[in-house]
Amino acid sequence: MSKLRVAVIGAKGRIGSEAARSVEAADDLDLVAAIDRDDPLETLTEAGTQVAVDLTHPDAVLGNLEFCVGHGIHAVVGTTGWTTERLATLRGWLEAAPGTGALVAPNFSIGAVLTMQFAQQAARWFESVEVIELHHDNKADAPSGTATRTAQLIAAARTEAGRPAQHDPTTHGLDGARGADVDGVPVHSVRLRGLLAHQEVLFGGTGETLTIRHDSLHHSSFMPGILLAVRTVPSAPGLTYGLEHFLTDGPAAADGSPTGPRGA
């Protein structure tokens, strides 16, 4: 079988460089382009790219995707900064390019995906919930894409369960002390040298609390998810939001890596 022709955009970055190495090391994938800020996007078409992985910056990602989708290149997107409006724009481009797929994943690590699912499951049962995300000191966006998505999922689950808005007794406080409000869920962002990517979801009920914590200790935590997405997106036309949609209940890989429809 011919190898899937893959490009990485943002290939000099923290995660992009690791992704380029992982694609290069995969037997069934061919790294045909590894571009960064000053390289023309035409490099992708000239290289015959079938799937592009975008790991750049919230300011750059939409322009990159307009080019990719416009040229029928499937996209795997880890870059953050997504809003409802931005997702709608991307969906519109994909509708005009039938057969082309894009996966936007707030987080590619299996632990983070499970954290979101567990949080969504717990949300209906607890009166209070707050999210704390902690990242390295070079992160451009706050709250993180993962924390934003986690809070949105929690809020939707609370609404579905008929839970009222959370009680907040604060009448005196400094701006920001209670975090950012994401659909009614307070989200607190810590930026600290030495950290990579971490998140705690704290639930509180009568006489008890529940904490769900996930830690990405190395960029390698994102690689199995990125490779799974690269292998799956050509058979998933349109917009997919969240890696969970590419996971299956098939046999687990020996190292616990997520598996998908192609046994990736």
Ligand X SMILES: NC(=O)C1=CN([C@@H]2O[C@H](COP(=O)(O)OP(=O)(O)OC[C@H]3O[C@@H](n4cnc5c(N)ncnc54)[C@H](OP(=O)(O)O)[C@@H]3O)[C@@H](O)[C@H]2O)C=CC1
Check the annotation: does 3 bind a ligand: no
Q: Residue 197 pairs with which residues in a beta bridge?
A: 135, 216
242 CB-side CA count, 13 A: 15
Report, in Å, the least distance between residue 192 CB and ligand X: 15
Burial 28-43 (b: 16+ CB within 10 A, else e): ebbbbbbbeeeeebee
Contact, 115 vs 212, CB < 8 A? yes
Contacting ligand LZUJQKHR (CB under 6 A), which of 145, 186, 225, 258? 145
Token pair in block for residue 190: 């810590």
Three-state secondary structure call for residue 162: coil
Applying the rule CB under 6 A, the residues between 156 and 195 that interact with ligand LZUJQKHR are: none
195 vs 136: CA distance, rounded Å: 5
Total number of residues binding ligand X (CB under 6 A)?
Answer: 24
Would you count residue 221 as binding ligand LZUJQKHR (CB under 6 A)? no
**What DSSP character marks residue 206?**
T
Check the annotation: does 108 bind a ligand: yes
By rule CB under 6 A, what string of x and - marks binding of each residue 38-57 to ligand X? -----------------xxx
111 vs 93: CA distance, rounded Å: 31
By rule CB under 6 A, what string of x and - marks binding of each residue 65-94 to ligand LZUJQKHR? ---------------x--------------
* Piece of 36-44, 61-69, 138-146, 255-263 that binds ligand LZUJQKHR (CB under 6 A): 138-146
Q: Tell me whether residue 9 or residue 132 sits nearer to ligand X (CB atom).
A: 9
Task: Find the helix packing angle between 84-95 and 61-70, rounded to 10°.
Answer: 10
Residues designated as active site:
135, 139
Binding residues for ligand X (CB under 6 A): 9-10, 12-16, 35-37, 55-58, 60, 78-80, 105-108, 145, 222
Annotated binding site: 10-15, 36-37, 78-80, 105-108, 136, 145-146
